[in-house]
Chain A
């Protein structure tokens, strides 16, 4: 016997969803184009605007990279992880330490930072966030806030505030139609895209990835098919932290390493997460690029203002008008 049940489900819905995303991408693209055009008028110099766009995209890649781990944690566990920036700082210090101690190429320190941060992620989730005490949203926010203060000041206590720098061996500069691009930024950008794609592939095409999405979609349902939800949560948190580890190794030649460096990325990363839709790894990458552009264009539009101001304006608008993010679906 086969049970045939006629349905009234509108079959057009799936393609229309794709269409909607495309449409929104079109709108965003058009907005960006207009913004760039206005910037051109404002600045009067094509090369300056072009350099700004290139720099914005490259910096945005870095933001996307950092936001990826955060969006995963936010989307699956519903935790506003205020310690993400601090975890990044911890990973940076590990990377710096490894380079200092062994002379390893900075990118290769990923071999250390990724597993180390994965482990830190496991410990943090098991020790602080899972279980009864961490239940409510506010509590988790406060715990991760406490953790970030703890980590930052722990680093301060043991390594001091002196900024530390790691150079990229064989740094080169490339010319992209007149815009200058440092090799290290280009590699970091490529790394961000690669990591984003790898994460996306992992989520879409592996059993673990599907399980992570399943838990995000319906936790009780996941339990009912035999998934150990708490373990998936821990793994997700650890993977999110490991992303910060990867980001650290890619970004360490670009920044001065200080205990508080996470702060500057934390809030930007949250904006990126909300913009891209929480839990959406590719959204984080795209959101990162947009925020990178917004920052650069802000400095052209509003001379004398912090680039962060533009970021916050975009943030507030997105929160009010599309809290589910550019590519998320309203629930």
Chain B
């Protein structure tokens, strides 16, 4: 008796909660659930706006919002008679299972496509949801290359994959060091030991090997516990390597820079690959002089593109913070979906998918041309750029056509 009553009460409670969730979708969601009504075209954005990734998540959500505003200002979707676009947002909390249910919610709310999600584990889940529902999913930031090995039809990615960045890093390193007259021969690699760092280091090792560089020592570390890298840097110093490649997150990369400053190994360069710190303005201010002349190969907003400059200025003005590359990628991802709708002339997600596959989008991030998706869903023209901290600023230095200034192949100590 008691039990049943209790369960009934709780059941009612959870139904209420569930109803509440449904209610959180903007009103009218049910009306155009099929995506065929006259209302705005809905694009779903999944980002971690709570939890430890919230800062980046929020940046990306805002970047997507700016893209939607830009589209509407320039007349909406022309092929649908100027229909407006609206962003439907969701918080993944950085958890795959939340990401999955939120993706489901956005899709049943009538989203024609999804963007997201900043984390590989969440993107892995959302890509499956997208595939099953036959709704396109354009990834803005997602490092994992694994997702694109399943032959999913509905998954796309704007940013260059981890392997591509690593290959570019090896290539740029070879060329830049050669040009400076100090060709890199022996490269030490220090990487965090999860998926992200290991993947980057593996790809780099292969690419560098092909270019005739010797990789070693390779040292991995646990980013969640490492508090001091003096020993690792001493090991690098003892090995006689010319260059130190670092694939890590922000905090650990900062500690590595401090240890390099302490040990002062005999290096020609410190080189970030997909690094979370060495191309961040925050690193410049946190590390100060000891970060000077650090290189970083990564995806990046295109600092040479006036459109990008305009967008970043607007972001800075509206939100009081510099716009990060992730947010610019979200902007591009929304543009990709909008272009897909434009191309398809329909809000049917399957048609939009084909539209995206056909579309060409001028990106605000660095690329070798317009965003164009290959068979596997990867952006064929995605590219990584080399940045260096010069005089307290992060500058694009290579390849030459993207360079703001010349690379300075030397170290500060």
Contact = CB atoms under 8 A, between A and B. Distances in A.
Contact of B250 (A56, A59, A163, A296): A163
B225 interface: yes
Given A299-B221, A303-B220, A48 B235 contact: yes
B227 A182 contact: no
Interface string B185-229: 000000001000000000000000000000000011110111110
Interface string B24-68: 000000000000000000000000001111110000000000000
Interface in A18-61: 43, 45, 47-48, 51-52, 54-56, 58-59
A52 B231 contact: yes
Contacts of B228: 55, 58-59, 185, 254
A182 B262 contact: yes
Contacts of A162: 55, 282
A217 interface: no
A173 interface: yes
B288 interface: yes
Interface in B286-336: 286, 288
Contact of A308 (B222, B251, B258, B262): B222
Given A55-B231, A58-B228, A258-B52, 5 more contacts: A47-B234, A256-B250, A263-B224, A264-B224, A304-B193
Contact of A254 (B221, B222, B227): B227
A197 interface: no
Interface in B341-361: none
B220 A258 contact: no
Contacts of A167: 286, 288
B222 A306 contact: yes
6 contacts: A45-B235, A48-B234, A52-B231, A162-B282, A173-B262, A308-B225
A184 to B, nearest CB: 9
A295 B229 CA distance: 12
Pick the 10 closest A-B CB pairs, nearest first: A306-B222, A51-B234, A256-B251, A52-B231, A165-B286, A161-B52, A173-B262, A55-B231, A55-B230, A48-B235
Nearest to A185: B228
- Overall SS of chain B's interface: helix
A156 B52 contact: yes
Contacts of B226: 307
Interface of B: 50-55, 193, 219-222, 224-228, 230-232, 234-235, 238, 250-251, 254-255, 258, 261-264, 282, 286, 288
B225 to A, nearest CB: 5
Contacts of A156: 50-52, 54
Interface of A: 43, 45, 47-48, 51-52, 54-56, 58-59, 62, 156, 160-163, 165, 167, 173, 179-182, 185, 254-256, 258-260, 263-264, 268, 295-296, 299, 303-304, 306-308
Contacts of B51: 156, 161
A268 to B, nearest CB: 8
Given A62-B227, A160-B55, A182-B230, A304 B220 contact: yes
A255 B230 contact: no
A161 B55 CA distance: 7
B231 A296 contact: yes
Contacts of A268: 225
Nearest to B234: A51
B231 A48 contact: yes
Contacts of B258: 182
A295 B224 CA distance: 13
Contacts of A254: 227-228
Contacts of B50: 156
B246 to A, nearest CB: 16
B263 to A, nearest CB: 5
Contacts of B238: 45, 47-48
Contacts of B251: 163, 255-256, 258
A162 B224 CA distance: 15
A317 to B, nearest CB: 19
Given A306-B193, A306-B225, A161 B231 contact: no
A240 B32 CA distance: 59
Contacts of B53: 161
Nearest to A161: B52
A173 B262 CA distance: 6
B229 to A, nearest CB: 9
Contacts of A295: 225
B234 A180 contact: yes
A255 B55 contact: no
Contacts of A52: 231, 234
A179 B225 contact: no
A278 B168 CA distance: 53
